[in-house]
Structure 1
Amino acid sequence: MLRLEGVDWEYLVAAHPAGFNIIHILHEHKISLRFPKGVKNIEMRNQYASRCIILKSIALCGLRRDIYIWSLDTGEVTNVLSAHVGRILGIETLQQDGKDIAITFSGDRTIKVWDLEHKDEKIYELPRHPLPTRVIHPTKNGSLVYAEARNGVVVWNTETGMDI
């Protein structure tokens, strides 16, 4: 699976069983990100389900129940966050008050908001949905997240954790 990632879509990301290969399109610089020993990417329909998101100096991926964070300078895993009880179904990132924030949603029917600057600090867990979330859409400024489930859409305020 190939994707364009990064703030200005300047990275080409290719997923493979052991991790991701990343090419900075403008500088033609290649970075190889590998999962720790024994961890494999999830293959679905001849593609890999995990999405690698590129931020300023880090890359992150939600795989199974964990969030893997790599340094783009070294290509090494810098942190693994135990994120959910169920499998992570999706991950999005945004900027909020100058901080990089990740939002994950899972089959355990929770949405979690993470402060990536502190890497292991969970801001809060949004209350459970009656049905698992299928897609989330954060607003550009990061103050709201639209969470889509089979039974409708819930709008969350990311600063208070309350639904609107």
Structure 2
Amino acid sequence: MASSPQVGEYVADFSLPGGVLLTAGDHGETVFERDTYTLSAARGRPLVLAFYPGDNTSVCTKQLCSYSSGLDTFTGLGAQVWGISPQDVDSHEAFARAQDLRMPLLADTGREAARAFGVTAPGIGVRRSVFLIGPDGVLRWKHVALLGATFQSLDTLAARIAEITA
């Protein structure tokens, strides 16, 4: 397993395909807008990177639903949240639609980003982990789970974001 970036270090740039579920049109239709997400393009705002093992799994669903329902809290703090897992964009679209997830879900199918962050794991593929990157591109906080049966709460992440934006 590669070494994870350390707090205080600049985080290397990466780009991944992904998409976000949006409400569009006069009748509130949902569209899944696909795009390429590049870390350097997110500079200027805090960014939460939430690596998770898989779409439509019990703990991952609870985690991402919690973050999605708390998006107002994140945006109120000026932060963005990206979910990253090894499934492809089609899987992410189905997952986002089934759970009404409103944050970008990125497809790290080759696990390049997971390797760069040191969160690949035999058997599960990717360790559940959260990285908080400051507006300047520097890693400000991280949590990498050993087992991944729990996740960092919205309140914990909001407190950490508030600390770096104070």
Same fold, TM-score > 0.5, yes or no: no
Relative to its length, the structure with more helix (as a share) is 2
TM-score by length of 1: 0.31
The structure number with the bigger radius of gyration is 1
Relative to its length, the structure with more strand (as a share) is 1
